[in-house]
Chain A
Amino acid sequence: MIEINPFVILFAAIFTNNILLSNYLGMCSFLAVSREVKASWGLGFAVIFVMTVTTAINWLVYFYILVPTGMEHFWYIIFIVVIAAFVQLVEIVIEKISPILYVNLGIFLPLITVNCAILGASLFMIIRGYDFLQSIAYGFGAGVGWALAIVAMAGIRQRISRSPVPAPLEGAGIALIIAGLMSLAFMGFSGMIQVQ
């Protein structure tokens, strides 16, 4: 991809191309956890951190190990292994150095390994041909965008829980409708820049 300022990519990843609201990634944990604002913050921060670091690692692994050895076809396996290993490592480190952080963040880490958004960010960065800095900006931006969406969603759902909702729509149904409305709102940003 030709010279796009990493800051533009960062902005695009947060607003115009929100990984959750325009690419539908990370829906499972999004629907499950977005009932409480506090838990949403925890998961949101965990996603920002893991996504930023794994996109960076995966970029290095792809261009310095897979491409020279001609093993690009195995990228899915390698990426998922990198993500799983990194999450495991973080879990061990956090448990050792900061028990408080571990209590707050630790329970979300296993959820992250199967979060589609993490793998999705790594795949998108390769498909769109970002360079190293752009990839880090993209990983960080996508994480922030995801966190923003889940926290906003949790806030709305706390209010909704006291409103009369048609019985079959309770839970997931109404959450999806809210997600649709949020997605509409975020589309309002899309005129600002034309970058993926």
Chain B
Amino acid sequence: MAKSKTKKIFWNAFWTDNPVFRQILGICSTLAVTNLMVNTIIMDIGLIFVLIMSNVTVSLLRNVTPRRIRMMVQVLIIATYVILFDLALKAYLPDISKALGAYVGLIITNCIIMGRAEAFASSNKPYPAFIDGLASGLGYSVILLAIAIPREILGFGTIMKDTFLQVTLMPESFTKWIIMVMAPGAFFTLAIVIWIIRGWTGRSGEDKG
């Protein structure tokens, strides 16, 4: 595998076809955890793990999977890795596992994972599939962090709340924007992030849903 090709796959998945702002995929299950950075980061790690592993597995099995039932096989592969991640989280970070609740399980129905398995991994070799999974996951995580950071700063006045890295940015007198940590805040922030990125890259108008 030539190095330039690897780079191209990475860049395509990371930026050119970025799942969130290009394709508006997979915001369902993860938007909910973007009110705290630490939750977002844990969720991102889970998503990247599941994305890479399922991509590689789907790619390895691509020649022995019957065409007609491939969706079902892909869902089962994804669900297996989600369960692994869920159990690891329960064992090592029980508090965060509780805070994330059902949303870890909902990684299964995150359209990105299914989308990458179907669009890329099912017709490519394991190594490019690995790169593709990594890059899509990172591209997705960057956007989620871009949503989480302003939400946490405006909503709680801190960065990395509830961890040893906690930094309080806003002074005592700062009135917290409660709306930012509630449901509407996530919608508005995501819309603004999409607005900025699309305006900046000069591409607009399309969305595939």
Contact = CB atoms under 8 A, between A and B. Distances in A.
A75 to B, nearest CB: 8
A118 B105 CA distance: 12
Interface string B57-76: 00000000000000010011
A166 to B, nearest CB: 7
Interface in A168-186: 168-174, 176-177, 179-181, 183-184
A173 B204 CA distance: 10
A124 B190 contact: no
B108 A177 contact: no
Interface string B17-38: 0000000111111011000000
B186 interface: yes
B183 A24 contact: yes
Contacts, number: 135
Interface stretch (B3-11, B41-49, B78-86, B148-156): B78-86
B171 interface: no
A26 B208 CA distance: 15
B136 to A, nearest CB: 15
Interface residues of B, number: 47
Contacts of A75: 105
A192 interface: no
B187 A32 contact: no
A24 B29 contact: yes
Contact of A177 (B25, B191, B204, B207): B191
Contacts of B80: 77
Interface of B: 24-29, 31-32, 72, 75-76, 79-80, 82-83, 86-87, 101-102, 105-106, 108-111, 114, 179, 182-188, 190-191, 194-196, 198-199, 204-209
19 contacts: A24-B31, A76-B108, A80-B75, A80-B109, A81-B76, A84-B75, A116-B106, A120-B109, A123-B106, A168-B198, A168-B204, A169-B204, A170-B204, A170-B205, A171-B205, A172-B194, A172-B207, A173-B194, A183-B183
Interface of A: 21-29, 31-33, 73-77, 80-81, 84, 114-120, 123-124, 127, 166-174, 176-177, 179-181, 183-184, 187
